Amino acid sequence: MTEQMAPFRDLTVDEIKKLVDEGRDVVDVREDWVCQVGERSAVASEMAVALGVKDVVNFRGGTKAWRDAGLPLEKP
């Protein structure tokens, strides 16, 4: 019997903001010229799960949802 990997969780801007505030690590997979709605991050999440990363979450709505919520966009 093959063990099936749990899929990643798809979270809202409020849920993601809470994780960020708690100090969770965030991996930004955006390109400067595309992807503001979370499609690229969904693919990256699937890849991370396939590689065995535990507790992977995807940000539903992406950068657009974050910006629309009035949250800051900062580069480290």
12-43 pLDDT per residue, tens? 999 999 998 999 888 877 776 675 666 788 88
Residue 72 burial (CB count, 10 A): 6
Regarding beta strands 57-59 and 9-11, do their DSSP bridges make them parallel or antiparallel, or are they unpaired? parallel
pTM over 0.75: no
Q: How far is CA 56 from its chain centroid?
A: 8
Greatest Cα pair distance, the chain, in angstroms, is 47
List the chain domain ranges: 9-68
Hey, what are 4's tokens?
């099936």
Q: What is the pLDDT of residues 44-75, one digit of tens each?
A: 899 999 999 988 998 888 888 888 999 987 75
Say what the alpha-carbon torsion angle 61, 65, 67, 69 is, to the nearest 10 degrees.
-150
